[in-house]
C-alpha cells in the first residue's frame, strides 16, 4: 500500500505541478508584457516633455538651466538618468554617473535623429537591465538639432516577475501537501481499511472464529471479487458446520444423518455412476422482476434432500422449466449449472406448451391421478385428451433423459412422483442398463378404487419399468402390489415385496419421507421465548387470544381444512370457557386455483371460517384467522414455534411434512400435535394425539385434551417425536432410497429385505 500511495502521490504532484507551471508561465508573460508597455509609454511621455523643455533651454542658450533639468530628472522613479546630445552625437549634458556608459552614438539616438522620430529599446548597461528611449530635438525652424536620451532602470520589472514566480512556487508547495494528505486519506479509507476488514473476515473464517461479514461498502470496493469471496466464505462456513456436526455426532456415537453424510454415502454407493433426478418442479426458478432476472428456490423439502446428492456426484436434474425467465438463463442445450452461487450440478430444463401443461399437469395428474389416489371423495376426472398430453409429456421427458444419459455406462435415475408414472418404462425400454427408481409421494389406493382409471394397465406397466418403486408407507406398497396382482399378468413376490414381469423385477418398498432436522440453523434463533414471540405475533395480527393453534397447508380438499374448522367450532361449543381465549390460525397457500374444484374449495374454506367467526367472535377475539397466501419458511417456522398446538387433519395424505416440521421446530419440547390417522406421518409419530378428521366432535375433544395436557406429558411426547424425526430425517430418506436402488443390481433381494423400514402394515 505504501508503494501505491507513493505512486499515486508522485503522479498527482507531477501532473498538478506541470499544469501550475504552464498556467503561471502565461500569467508571468502577460504581466511582463504589460509592465514593458507601461514603461514604454511612460518613457515616451517623459522624453517628449523633457525634449520640449530642453529645446527652450538650447534656443535661449541657457546651459545652466539644461544642466539643472538633467540633474533634477536623474535617479527618480526608476529613472536612471538622461543625456542631451547634439546632432553629431556629441554630449551636451549627461547625468553624471551615466556619461561613461551612454555614448551619444547609441543606436536609438542615431535612429531618432535620422528618422526624426522617437525610438525606444530594452537593453543592458553593464549588468543592469534598462530601457533607453530617444527623442529628437528641434530648432525653431523644425530642423533636428540633436536628441535626448532617457534611461529607465528595468530592475523593478524583474523583481515583479520574481515575486510572481515565488508566489507560484509557494502555491505548488501547498498543493503538494494537500494532495499528499488527501491521497493518503483516500487510500486509507477506501483501500487499506476495506481490505484490512475483508482480510480480517477471511482470517476469522479460516480460523473458525465468529466471523462478522464486512459491510456492503467494503465489499462494494471489491465488486469484482465479492461475488467469488462471499460464496467461498459461505461454503467454508457450511463445510466447517458440517465437519463440526460430524465430529459431534462421532463423539456422541450417534448416527444422525446430515447433508454431508448423505453426500458421502451416496458417492460411495454410486461408485462413479452418474445420478439423474427427474421431477415436475425445478429446484431453481428464474423470473423477471423489475426488469431484472430473479432466481428463487421453491420451498420444498425435496430440494433440500436431493441437492446435496447432486452436488456430491455432479449429477443432472431434469425438470419442467416453469419460470418466465428460465429460457434466458440456459445454454444452447437448455442446461445451466446450479446452485447459482456455487455451481455443482446441471439443471436440464424441459419446455412444455400451455396445452401440454394444462392436459398433463392440471388435467391428468391433478384432476385424475390426485383424487384417484387420495380417498377424499372427490371424483377423479379422466379425459382422453389429458391422457394423451400426459403420455406425450412423459415421452418428452424420456427423450430428454435418454439424451442426457448418452454414453453413461451405469446411469442411476431417480424419478419423482405421480406426474411421471409412464417414464420408468419409457426409459427402461431404451436404456435397459439404467438403474431406475420412482418415488410416489402420494398414497396408493386399494385396487377397487384404482381400477376405475381407464388407463390403469398402462400406468402400472409404466411404473413397473422401474427397478425400485418407493412409497411412504408399507400400506401403500401393499395396495400397489394388490393392484398389480389384480390387473396385470405378473408374479407378485409378497415375501420380498417385488413384482416380476417379462423377466424384469421391480422392488416395491416404503421410504417414509421426512424433513431437515435443523435444530441449530441460523434462521431459527435459539433461546427465543415462545410466550414473548406469541404475544408479539398476536399484536401484529391485531387480535386478542391466549391460546394459539396453527394449521399449515396448501388449500387442498385432501387436507381436511373444513373439518378442522368445524372441530374448532365443536370445541368452543363444548368448552365455552375457551371462547375469547383460543384462536386457530390457518396458513393456507393458494394451489392449483385454475382447477374448478380447487377454486370452489378455496371459497368454501373462506366461507366456513367466516361463518364460524360470525357465530363466536367478540371484541378483538376471533376463533379462526385464515391467511390465504404463501408464507416463506421463516414465517411458517415462527407460527410453529409459538403455537400451543398444531392440527394436521388430512382426509388422506401420503406422509404430511407439516406434522414433522412442527415437531422439528419445537426446540423447546413444548406443543401438541393433533394428527389425522389417515396420514403417513401417523404411522411414525405415535405421540401425537391421533384423530379421525371425519369425526368432528372427537377432533374438538382432542383440542381440549391438548390445551389441558400436563406439561410433563407434553414434553415427554414431544421429546419422543423429536427423536424419531431427528433419526429419520430427510437425509436418511434420500440415503435409504438411493442406497437401496444402488444395491438392487448387486444383491437385489437381500438388500431389498434389509431396506424395508419396520412399519405397521395398515391398509386404507
Query: Where do contacts with ligand ADQ occur on this chain (CB under 6 A)?
Result: 299, 301, 441-442, 513, 552-554, 587-589, 630-631, 636, 653-658, 661
736 in Cβ contact with 487 (< 8 Å): no
- Spatial CB neighbours of 477, under 8 Å, sequence gap ≥ 6: 444, 469, 471, 497, 508, 509, 510
What is the closest distance, in whole angstroms, from the C-beta atom of residue 442 to ligand ADQ in the complex? 5
What is the closest distance, in whole angstroms, from the C-beta atom of residue 284 to ligand ADQ in the complex? 18
Spatial separation of the C-alpha atoms in residues 401 and 413, rounded to whole Å: 9
What pairs with residue 296 in β-bridges?
A: 285
- Between helix 423-430 and helix 456-463 the angle, nearest 10°, is 50
Closest by CA position to 456, among listed 491, 482, 431: 482
**Cα 587-591-597 angle, rounded to 5 deg:** 115
CB-based burial label for 170 (10 Å; 0-12, 13-18, 19+): exposed
Spatial separation of the C-alpha atoms in residues 99 and 82, rounded to whole Å: 9
What is the closest distance, in whole angstroms, from the C-beta atom of residue 446 to ligand ADQ in the complex? 17
What is the closest distance, in whole angstroms, from the C-beta atom of residue 689 to ligand ADQ in the complex? 18
Measured CA to CA in angstroms, residue 689 lies from 346, 704, 715 at distances of: 43, 11, 14
602 in Cβ contact with 593 (< 8 Å): yes
The Cβ-side half-sphere exposure at 170, using a 13 Å CA radius, reads 6
DSSP secondary structure letter of residue 513:
-
The Cβ-side half-sphere exposure at 704, using a 13 Å CA radius, reads 18
558 in Cβ contact with 372 (< 8 Å): no
What is the closest distance, in whole angstroms, from the C-beta atom of residue 626 to ligand ADQ in the complex? 11
Spatial separation of the C-alpha atoms in residues 410 and 431, rounded to whole Å: 10
The Cβ-side half-sphere exposure at 616, using a 13 Å CA radius, reads 29
What is the closest distance, in whole angstroms, from the C-beta atom of residue 564 to ligand ADQ in the complex? 13
In angstroms, how far is the first alpha carbon of the chain from the final one?
74
Amino acid at each position: 500500500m505504501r508503494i501505491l500511495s507513493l505512486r499515486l502521490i508522485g503522479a498527482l504532484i507531477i501532473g498538478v505541478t506541470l499544469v501550475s507551471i504552464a498556467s503561471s508561465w502565461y500569467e508571468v508573460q502577460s504581466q511582463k508584457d504589460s509592465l514593458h508597455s507601461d514603461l514604454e509609454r511612460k518613457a515616451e511621455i517623459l522624453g517628449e516633455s523633457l525634449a520640449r523643455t530642453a529645446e527652450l533651454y538650447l534656443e535661449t542658450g541657457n546651459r545652466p538651466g539644461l544642466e539643472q533639468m538633467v540633474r533634477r530628472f536623474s535617479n527618480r522613479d526608476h529613472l536612471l538618468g538622461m543625456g542631451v546630445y547634439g546632432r553629431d552625437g556629441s554630449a551636451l549634458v549627461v547625468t553624471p554617473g551615466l556619461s561613461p556608459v551612454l555614448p551619444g552614438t547609441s543606436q536609438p539616438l542615431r535612429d531618432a535623429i535620422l528618422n526624426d522620430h522617437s525610438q525606444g529599446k530594452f537593453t543592458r548597461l553593464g549588468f543592469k537591465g534598462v530601457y533607453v528611449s530617444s527623442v529628437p530635438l528641434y530648432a525653431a525652424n523644425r530642423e533636428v538639432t540633436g536628441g535626448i536620451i532617457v534611461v529607465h532602470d528595468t530592475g523593478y520589472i524583474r523583481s515583479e516577475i520574481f515575486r510572481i514566480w515565488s508566489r507560484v512556487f509557494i502555491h505548488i508547495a501547498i498543493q503538494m501537501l494537500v494532495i499528499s494528505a488527501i491521497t493518503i486519506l483516500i487510500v486509507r479509507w477506501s483501500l487499506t481499511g476495506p481490505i484490512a476488514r475483508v482480510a480480517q473476515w477471511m482470517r476469522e473464517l479460516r480460523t473458525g472464529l465468529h466471523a462478522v461479514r464486512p459491510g456492503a461498502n467494503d465489499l462494494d470496493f471489491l465488486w469484482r471479487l465479492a461475488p467469488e469471496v462471499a460464496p467461498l466464505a459461505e461454503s467454508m462456513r457450511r463445510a466447517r458446520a458440517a465437519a463440526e456436526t460430524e465430529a459431534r455426532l462421532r463423539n456422541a456415537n450417534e448416527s444422525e444423518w446430515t447433508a454431508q453424510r448423505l453426500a458421502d454415502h451416496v458417492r460411495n454407493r454410486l461408485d462413479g455412476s452418474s445420478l439423474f433426478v427427474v421431477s415436475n418442479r425445478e429446484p431453481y426458478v428464474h423470473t423477471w422482476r423489475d426488469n431484472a432476472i430473479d432466481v428463487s428456490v421453491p420451498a420444498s423439502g425435496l430440494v433440500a434432500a436431493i441437492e446435496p446428492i447432486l452436488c456430491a456426484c455432479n449429477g443432472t436434474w431434469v425438470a419442467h422449466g416453469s419460470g418466465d425467465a428460465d429460457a434466458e438463463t440456459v445454454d444452447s442445450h437448455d442446461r445451466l449449472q446450479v446452485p447459482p452461487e456455487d455451481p455443482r450440478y446441471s439443471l436440464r430444463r424441459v419446455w412444455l406448451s400451455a396445452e401440454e401443461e394444462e392436459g398433463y399437469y392440471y388435467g391428468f395428474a391433478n384432476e385424475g391421478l390426485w383424487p384417484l389416489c387420495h380417498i377424499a371423495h372427490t371424483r377423479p376426472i379422466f379425459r382422453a385428451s389429458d391422457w394423451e398430453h400426459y403420455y406425450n409429456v412423459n415421452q418428452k421427458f424420456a427423450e430428454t433423459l435418454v439424451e442426457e444419459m448418452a454414453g453413461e455406462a451405469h446411469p442411476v435415475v431417480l424419478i419423482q412422483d405421480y406426474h411421471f408414472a409412464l417414464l420408468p418404462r419409457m426409459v427402461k425400454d431404451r436404456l435397459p442398463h439404467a438403474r431406475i427408481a420412482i418415488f410416489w409421494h402420494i398414497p396408493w389406493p386399494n385396487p377397487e378404487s384404482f381400477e376405475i382409471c381407464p388407463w390403469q394397465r398402462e400406468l402400472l406397466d409404466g411404473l413397473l419399468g422401474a427397478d425400485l418403486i418407493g412409497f411412504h408407507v408399507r400400506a401403500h406398497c401393499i395396495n400397489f402390489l394388490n393392484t398389480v396382482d389384480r390387473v396385470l399378468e405378473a408374479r407378485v413376490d409378497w415375501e420380498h415385496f417385488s413384482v416380476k414381469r417379462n423377466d424384469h423385477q421391480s422392488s416395491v418398498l416404503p421410504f417414509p419421507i421426512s424433513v431437515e432436522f435443523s435444530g441449530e440453523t441460523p434462521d431459527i434463533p435459539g433461546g427465543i421465548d415462545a410466550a414473548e414471540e406469541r404475544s408479539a405475533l398476536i399484536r401484529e395480527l391485531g387480535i386478542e387470544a391466549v391460546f394459539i393453534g396453527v394449521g399449515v397447508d396448501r388449500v387442498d380438499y385432501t387436507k381436511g381444512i373444513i373439518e378442522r374448522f368445524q372441530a374448532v367450532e365443536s370445541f368452543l361449543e363444548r368448552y365455552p370457557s375457551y371462547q375469547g381465549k383460543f384462536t386457530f390460525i390457518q396458513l393456507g397457500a393458494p394451489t392449483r386455483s385454475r382447477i374448478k374444484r380447487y377454486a370452489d374449495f378455496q371459497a368454501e374454506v373462506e366461507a366456513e371460517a367466516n361463518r364460524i367467526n360470525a357465530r363466536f367472535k367478540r371484541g378483538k377475539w376471533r376463533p379462526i384467522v385464515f391467511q390465504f397466501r404463501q408464507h416463506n419458511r421463516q414465517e411458517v417456522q415462527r407460527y410453529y414455534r409459538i403455537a400451543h398446538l398444531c392440527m394436521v387433519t388430512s382426509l388422506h395424505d401420503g406422509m404430511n411434512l407439516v406434522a414433522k416440521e412442527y415437531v422439528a421446530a419445537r426446540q423447546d419440547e413444548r406443543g401438541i400435535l393433533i394428527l389425522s390417522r389417515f396420514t403417513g406421518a401417523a404411522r411414525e409419530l405415535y405421540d401425537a394425539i391421533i384423530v379421525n378428521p371425519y369425526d368432528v366432535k372427537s377432533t374438538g375433544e382432542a383440542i381440549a385434551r391438548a390445551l389441558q395436557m400436563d406439561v410433563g406429558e407434553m414434553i415427554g411426547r414431544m421429546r419422543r417425536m423429536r427423536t424419531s424425526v431427528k433419526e429419520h430425517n430427510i437425509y436418511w430418506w434420500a440415503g435409504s432410497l438411493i442406497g437401496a436402488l444402488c444395491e438392487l443390481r448387486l444383491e437385489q433381494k437381500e438388500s431389498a429385505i434389509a431396506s424395508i423400514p419396520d412399519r405397521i402394515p395398515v391398509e386404507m
